[in-house]
Amino acid sequence: MIHVGLQHFLVVAALLFCLGLTCVLVRRNAVAILIGIELILNAAGLNLIAFARFGGDLLSGTVFVVFLIVLAAAEAVVGLALIIAVHRRLRDIDLERSDELRG
Amino acid sequence: MLETNLLWLIPGLPLLGAVLSGLLGKPLQRRFGKKAISAVSVLLPWASFGVAAWCFIQLPEGGSLHDRLWTWIAIGPLEVDLAFAMDPLSAMMALAVSLVGSLIHVYSIGYMADDEGYWRYFSFLNLFMFSMLLLVLGDNLLLMFVGWEGVGLCSYLLIGFWYRDLVNARAGMKAFVVNRIGDFGFLVGLLLLFWSLGGEWMDGAYRVNGGAFSLNFRDLPDLVAAAADKQLWGVPVLTLAGIFLFIGACGKSAQIPLYVWLPDAMAGPTPVSALIHAATMVTAGVYMVARMNFLYVHSPTAMTVVALVGAVTALFAATIGVFQYDIKKVLAYSTVSQLGYMFIGVGVGAFWAGSYHLLTHAFFKACLFLCAGSVIMAMHHEQDMRKMGGLGKTMPITRWTYWYACVAISGFPIASGFFSKDEILFQAYNAGSLMVPGWIIWLLGFVAAGLTAFYMWRSYFMTFTGPAVSVGGHEPQEQRPVITVVLGALAVGAFAMSFIGIPALWLDSPPQLEHFLAPVFSAAEGLERVFAPGAGHGVEWGLMGASIGIALLGLAFAWWLYRGRKSELPARLMAAMPRAHKLVYNKYYVDEIYDTTAVRGFLGLSRLSGWFDSKVIDGLVNLCGAAARGFAWIDGAIDRYAVDGAVNGLAWLVTRAGGKLRRVQTGRLTTYLAGLVAGVLIFVILTRFLLDVYA
C-alpha cells in the first residue's frame, strides 16, 4: 500500500496546472481556454487543501478553497457571458480571429 | 472778522447759471425760445448782486466777512481752504463786478437777440462772472489764481465767440497766449512768495519758519513783513515777487509790453468788450496789486516799476488812440491808457485812488462801450467812424450817455472820472517813496489826460455830429429800451460814483471811499510823501486846475478839428507830417515788431525743435526700434530652430517609436496570455536566481 503524502498531491496539482496552462496557451476555442483556466484554479485549490491537510491550519485552507470554488463559478459566469457576446458579434468563438483590438 | 455762510453764493449763482445754460441751453432754446435762457442767465447774476449787496450791508466797520467751505489742499503745514472773504476792497469789487456785469447781461438780451449761439454766449458770460467773483472774493492767493485763469479762459472763449471767422479765432488765440505769458509771471511770483515765506530747504528737508504758513490774505501781511530782508541772487525777494506778480498783472491788464492783445480782443461781441475788456477782467491786475499792497510797500523798486510802466502805457496808448478810426479800437486803446492810470495809482502807493479809478472806469467805460455797441447795431455792424456822423439826432439817449461818459473819462468835475483821475495825478506828484521823482510820473499822466480828452471828444464829434448818414436807405434808429435803460443806468452810476470820492480839499472829511478802504491799505500809511497829510493844498488846487485846463484844451482841439465834421484841417495836418502819422496810425508797428521778433523767433525755435525732434529724437527712437527688431529676429530664430526643433524632434521620436512598438499589440488573447506566462517565468527566474529573495 502506497502511502499518499504531500508530494503526491503537489505532483498531481503541478500536472493539473501544466495541463491547464497548456490548454490555455495552445487552444483557440474560447470555451477550451476557460476550461484551462478552471484547471489552473483547481490546481491552486488542490495545493491549498493539501498544505492545509499536511502542514497548517486546516480551517483557513478549507475556507480559501471554498472561496476559490465560488470565485471559479463567478468567473465562469462572466467568462461565458463574454464568450456569448463575442459569439453574437463574430458568429465564432475562435480567439485567433477576434483580434480587433490590435495596435 | 465775521463768519457767514452766504459769500459762496455770490460766485456760486453765476456758476449755476453757466452750468444750466451750458448743459441744457441748446434744448431749452429750441423748446422755449431765448426767453428761457435769459430768465436763467440774467436773473442769476442779479441774484448774485443781491447777495453781494446783502453781505455788504452786514460788513462790520473796518472788518471782514469770512466764509469757509472746506479744506481744499493740505500739504504738511500748508493748508489752503476753499474759502471766501469779503473785506472793504473785495466788497467794492464784488459790488461793481456783479452790478456792471448784471447790467451788461441785460444789455446782451438786446444785443445778441438775433444770434444762434445765444445760450452759448450767456453760458460763457455767466462763467466769466463766476471766475471774476472767485478772483475777487477768494480768500487766498491760490483761489485768486484759479479765478485769474478762469477769466482768461472766458475771455478767450468770448473773443472767439464768432469762431467761424478766422480773424476772431486768431484774436482769441492771441489774447490767450499773451495772457499765458503774464500768467507765467504771476505763477513765478506766487512760487517765489511760497518759497520765501513758508520756510527754507535745509539739509534736504523743508523747514517751516516758526510753524506758521499760510496763503491767506489775512495772514500774508505779517509773513511778508517777516521776509522783508530776505534776498535771492542779491535782490530782495519781495521785489522779485512783486515784479513777477506785476508781469502777471501786465498780461491781464494790458500794460506795456503785453498790451497787444486787448485791441484785437475787440473782435468779440461788444457787450463782452464792455464787461470783460473794459470794466472788470482787465482791472484784475490792478485789483491784485492793490490786494498785495502790503508786499509792494516793502519794495520801492517794484512800486517804481509799476508806476512807470503804468505812466508810460497811459501816454503810449493815448497817442495810438488819437489816430484810430474804428470806434471800438479807440475805446480799446483808451482802456489800456486808463488802466495805466490805475497802475500809476497803485504804483505810487495811493492804492485807494487806483481802486477808485477802477470803480469809476468800470461805469463810464462800460457805458462808452455799450453806446458804441448801440451805434454799431444802428449802423448795421459798421465800426469805422469815418462812415458815421449825425447820429446824435436820431439816437438821443445813446448820444447823451456817450456824451456824459466822455465828460467822465476826460476829467471834468461834474463826473466821477475827474475825482479819481485827479486824485491819482496828485498822489503821483506827491509820491516820495519811488526811485524817480513823482513829478515825472505826474507829467506823463498829465499829457496822457490831454490826449484822452482829445481822442474821446474826437470820437464823440465824429460819431454824433455833422451831416446825418443813412444806412441801407434809412436813418439809423435808436435802440430798444432793454439797451437804452442800461446805458442810462451806467451813466447814472458814473455820476453817482462821484460822491464817494470827493476830495478832502472840497470837504472837511477825507473821501468816503478812502475811509472805507483804509483798513485794507493800512500798510500804505507809512509811505513817504512829499507833502505831509493836510499840507500841499495850494499845489493840489494848482494841479486840479491844470488837469481841467488840459482837458478843456483837448476838448477845444477836438471841437476845432472835428465838430460838425466840416473842417479840412485833420487831413491837412496828417499830410503835413506823413511819417509821424503813419508811425502812430500803425500803432508804432509794435505788432509787426512782435511778429518779427517774438512770434517769428518762437516759430523758428519751434521749427528748430521740430527738426531736432524729427531728425535726432526720432532717429534715436528708430534706432532703438531697429535694435529691438534685430534682437527680436535673433530671439525668433532661436525659438523657431532650437526650441521648436527640440519639441518637434521629441514628437517625431515618439511617433516613430510608437510605430515600431504597436506591433506588440496583436489583439489576440493567446499572445497576451503567452506574454503573461513568459513574464511570470522571467519574474520567477529573476527573483529565484538573481535576487535571491527566498533565501
Q: Kindly report, residue by residue over B411-426, the tens digit of the pLDDT.
A: 888 888 888 998 899 8
Question: With an 8 Å Cβ cutoff, is B674 touching chain A?
Answer: yes
- Please report which confidence band the pLDDT of residue B655 belongs to, taking 50, 70 and 90 as the band edges: very high
Mean pLDDT, range B246-270, rounded to an integer:
88
Picking from A93, A94, A101 by the largest number of B CB atoms within 10 A of its own CB, the best residue to mutate is A101
Alpha helices (runs of H) in B24-87, residue ranges in sequence order: 25-32, 34-58
Q: What is the pLDDT of residue B694?
A: 57
Instruction: Please tell me the total count of domains within chain A.
Output: 1
How many residues are recorded in chain B? 695
Euclidean distance between the first and final Cα of chain A, in Å? 58
Question: With an 8 Å Cβ cutoff, is A33 touching chain B?
Answer: yes
- Asked if residues B400 and B463 have their Cβ atoms less than 8 Å apart, the reply is no
Q: For the CA atoms of chain A, what is the radius of gyration? A: 17
As a whole number of angstroms, the distance between CA B61 and CA B645 comes to: 93
Q: Is residue A102 part of a domain?
A: no
Q: Is residue A96 part of a domain?
A: no
Q: What is the pLDDT of residue B689?
A: 77
Average pLDDT, chain B: 86
b/e map B7-31, b = 16+ CB within 10 Å: bbbbbbbbbbbbbbbbebbbebbee
Asked whether the beta carbons of residue A98 and residue B669 sit closer than 8 angstroms, the reply is: yes
Q: Is residue A53 part of a domain?
A: yes
Mean pLDDT, range B330-350, rounded to an integer:
91
> Which residues in B lie closer than 8 A to residue A24 (C-beta atoms)?
673
- Asked if residues B323 and B584 have their Cβ atoms less than 8 Å apart, the reply is yes
Question: With an 8 Å Cβ cutoff, is A13 touching chain B?
Answer: no
Residue type, B374: S
A-B contacts at Cβ under 8 angstroms:
34
3-state helix, strand, coil in chain A (%, to 5): 75, 0, 20
Q: How far is B650 from chain A (nearest CA, A)?
A: 21
Give me the residue from B663, B669, B677 closest to A95, CB to CB: B669
Q: What is the pLDDT of residue B312?
A: 93
As a whole number of angstroms, the distance between CA B318 and CA B456 comes to: 10
As a whole number of angstroms, the distance between CA B170 and CA B177 comes to: 10
Closest Cα partner for B333 from B591, B592, B594, B595? B591
Q: Is residue A98 part of a domain?
A: no
Answering whether pTM is above 0.80, one says no
Asked whether the beta carbons of residue A103 and residue B664 sit closer than 8 angstroms, the reply is: yes
Lay out the sheet containing B2-3: strands in order across. Answer: B2-3, B65-75, B78-86
Residue B340 has pLDDT above 90, yes or no: yes
As a whole number of angstroms, the distance between CA B494 and CA B487 comes to: 11
Asked whether the beta carbons of residue A28 and residue B670 sit closer than 8 angstroms, the reply is: yes
As a whole number of angstroms, the distance between CA B269 and CA B272 comes to: 5
Q: How far is A28 from chain B (nearest CA, A)?
A: 8
As a whole number of angstroms, the distance between CA B288 and CA B275 comes to: 18
- Comparison of pLDDT for B535 and B180, the residue scoring more: B180
Mean pLDDT, range B92-108, rounded to an integer:
91
> Which residues in A lie closer than 8 A to residue B676 (C-beta atoms)?
none
Q: Is residue A100 part of a domain?
A: no
Helix (H, G, I), strand (E, B) or coil at B1: coil
The distance of Cα B70 from the centroid of its chain, to the nearest Å, equals 26
The distance of Cα B56 from the centroid of its chain, to the nearest Å, equals 25
The distance of Cα B548 from the centroid of its chain, to the nearest Å, equals 34
- Asked if residues B332 and B277 have their Cβ atoms less than 8 Å apart, the reply is yes
Mean pLDDT, range B52-81, rounded to an integer:
85
Q: What is the pLDDT of residue B205?
A: 56
> Which residues in A lie closer than 8 A to residue B664 (C-beta atoms)?
103
In terms of CA atoms, which chain B residue is nearest residue A93?
Answer: B669
Q: What is the pLDDT of residue B260?
A: 87
Interface of B with A in 637-666 (CB under 8 A): 661-666
Q: What is the CATH number of the domain that holds A85?
A: 1.10.287.3510
Asked whether the beta carbons of residue B665 and residue A101 sit closer than 8 angstroms, the reply is: yes
- Please report which confidence band the pLDDT of residue B151 belongs to, taking 50, 70 and 90 as the band edges: very high
Give me the residue from A24, A25, A102 closest to B666, CB to CB: A102
pLDDT in tens, B357-376: 999 999 999 999 999 998 88
**Strand locations in B617-671 (E):** none
Residue B453 has pLDDT above 70, yes or no: yes
Q: Is residue A68 part of a domain?
A: yes
Q: What is the pLDDT of residue B356?
A: 92
Question: With an 8 Å Cβ cutoff, is B677 touching chain A?
Answer: yes
Residue A64 has pLDDT above 70, yes or no: yes
- Comparison of pLDDT for B535 and B601, the residue scoring more: B601
Q: Is residue A95 part of a domain?
A: no
Question: What is the signed CA dihedral for B116, B122, B128, B133, rounded to 10 degrees?
Answer: 170
Helix (H, G, I), strand (E, B) or coil at B593: helix
b/e map A84-94, b = 16+ CB within 10 Å: eebeeeeeebe
Picking from A18, A25, A94 by the largest number of B CB atoms within 10 A of its own CB, the best residue to mutate is A25
pLDDT in tens, B194-228: 777 766 655 555 555 555 567 788 888 877 887 77
Residue B584 has pLDDT above 60, yes or no: yes
Mean pLDDT, range B246-274, rounded to an integer:
88
As a whole number of angstroms, the distance between CA B552 and CA B548 comes to: 6
- Asked if residues A102 and B665 have their Cβ atoms less than 8 Å apart, the reply is yes
Q: CB-based contacts of B218: which residues, under 8 Å, 6+ apart?
A: B1, B64, B85, B139
- Please report which confidence band the pLDDT of residue B344 belongs to, taking 50, 70 and 90 as the band edges: very high
Q: Is residue A36 part of a domain?
A: yes
Domain that holds residue A85: 6-90
What cell was used for B487?
446805458
Mean pLDDT, range A8-32, rounded to an integer:
91
Interface of B with A in 218-247 (CB under 8 A): none
As a whole number of angstroms, the distance between CA B500 and CA B509 comes to: 11
As a whole number of angstroms, the distance between CA B536 and CA B531 comes to: 6
- Please report which confidence band the pLDDT of residue B521 belongs to, taking 50, 70 and 90 as the band edges: confident
- Comparison of pLDDT for B580 and B555, the residue scoring more: B555
Give strand pairing partners of B125.
none
Q: What is the pLDDT of residue B695?
A: 55
- Comparison of pLDDT for B9 and B224, the residue scoring more: B9
- Asked if residues A20 and A40 have their Cβ atoms less than 8 Å apart, the reply is yes
Question: With an 8 Å Cβ cutoff, is A96 touching chain B?
Answer: yes
Question: With an 8 Å Cβ cutoff, is B614 touching chain A?
Answer: no
Residue B471 has pLDDT above 80, yes or no: no
Q: Name the DSSP letter for residue B60.
A: P
In terms of CA atoms, which chain A residue is nearest residue B666?
Answer: A102
Give φ, ψ of B652 to 5 degrees.
-60, -45
B501: number of Cβ within 10 Å: 22
What cell was used for B440?
515825472
Peptide bond into B570 cis (omega under 30): no
In terms of CA atoms, which chain A residue is nearest residue B661?
Answer: A103
Residue B470 has pLDDT above 80, yes or no: no
Asked whether the beta carbons of residue A95 and residue B668 sit closer than 8 angstroms, the reply is: yes
Q: How far is A2 from chain B (nearest CA, A)?
A: 33
Give me the residue from A24, A25, A100 closest to B667, CB to CB: A100
